[in-house]
Amino acid sequence: MAIFKGAGVAIVTPFKKDLSINYEKLDALLTEQIDQGTDAIIICGTTGESATLTETEHTNAIRFTVERVKKRIPVIAGTGSNCTATAIRLSKEAEEVGADAALVVTPYYNKATQNGLINHFESIAANIKLPIIMYNIPGRTGIGMAAHTIAHLIKHVDNIVGVKESTGDIGFVARTMNLCDGKLELYSGNDDQIVPLLSLGGLGVISVISNIAPKYTHDIVSTYHAGDTKTACQMQLKAMPMIDALFCEVNPIPVKAAMNLLGKEVGSLRNPLTEIEPQHLQLLRKAMEDFGIL
């Protein structure tokens, strides 16, 4: 059975003025997401600024989310690292505090070989029972998983079940799905390619735009799966200017700015991320107005 089907939100980590985690605000965001139909919570991912969380903060944020969600929808914990031992430790901690799955990014900066990637993911999987979604995003990590690497892991490791696909290469996705013989749980990692990946057998999306439009994003996927592909396509196209605005600077700078424009008070960002540039804030505001959420 798939971890989830639909739209999972790659939720931001809200901060107080002193840049400590604002758990009261996180609680409110989780409630809103569930009320609006979001199908899974992805905590401590890229959008959650995992790179600047301490390991203690990381585990505490996952524990808090699990406790507040109370099994209403799956909680998927980002537990990746460029150090295999660290990724194992984070994954074991996520399992101990009750996460439903782990999202594990390819090891950044090291530029491992494909054999190194296989060893990395096999080592993590051997130390936990949680299902694992691999995160393939070479634009941020400097290394991409080959289609045959994904297929090898999916076919030979029982608890490696899926991929969050963020290469942007539709042909690569098609070749990967072909090699995996129907065994791969595919999630789009790009909001601008939700419907294209669904058409190749995808189950849903792990989404940034869900932070500000959870019901809309959920409805794109549910509409597609209900068989109304034309409407789902129209919804995807309508969202494109908003999606583009959310990536006018590196994620999560724009989405945090958007949430603050909506009065959600998620706070600032930790260095080295900085506040959105004024011209981009103006672009973002207009996109939100045109989309009808501001």
Backbone angles phi, psi at 215, to 5 degrees: -65, -40
What does the block give as tokens for 53? 């969380």
Catalytic residue selected from 25, 135, 187, 224: 135
pLDDT band at 1 (very low <50, low <70, confident <90, very high): confident
Which residue matches tokens 């390819």?
106
Half-sphere exposure of 279 (CA within 13 A, CB side): 2
Main-chain phi, psi angles of 217, to 5 degrees: -65, -45
Q: What is the pLDDT of residues 128-186, one digit of tens each?
A: 999 999 999 999 999 999 999 999 999 999 999 999 999 999 999 999 999 999 999 99
CA distances from 47 to 170, 273, 277 (A): 23, 12, 18
Each residue's pLDDT tens digit, 226-260: 999 999 999 999 999 999 999 999 999 999 999 99
Catalytic residue among 5, 71, 164, 216: 164
**Catalytic residue at 230?**
no
Residue 40 corresponds to which amino acid?
A
Q: How far is CA 181 from CA 14, 156, 215, in A?
A: 40, 13, 32
Mean pLDDT for the chain? 98
The Cα–Cα gap between 213 and 215 comes to: 6
**Separation between Cα atoms, residue 275 and residue 254, nearest integer Å:** 8
Query: Does 187 qualify as catalytic in the annotation?
Result: no
Contact between 172 and 188 under an 8 Å Cβ cutoff? The reply is no
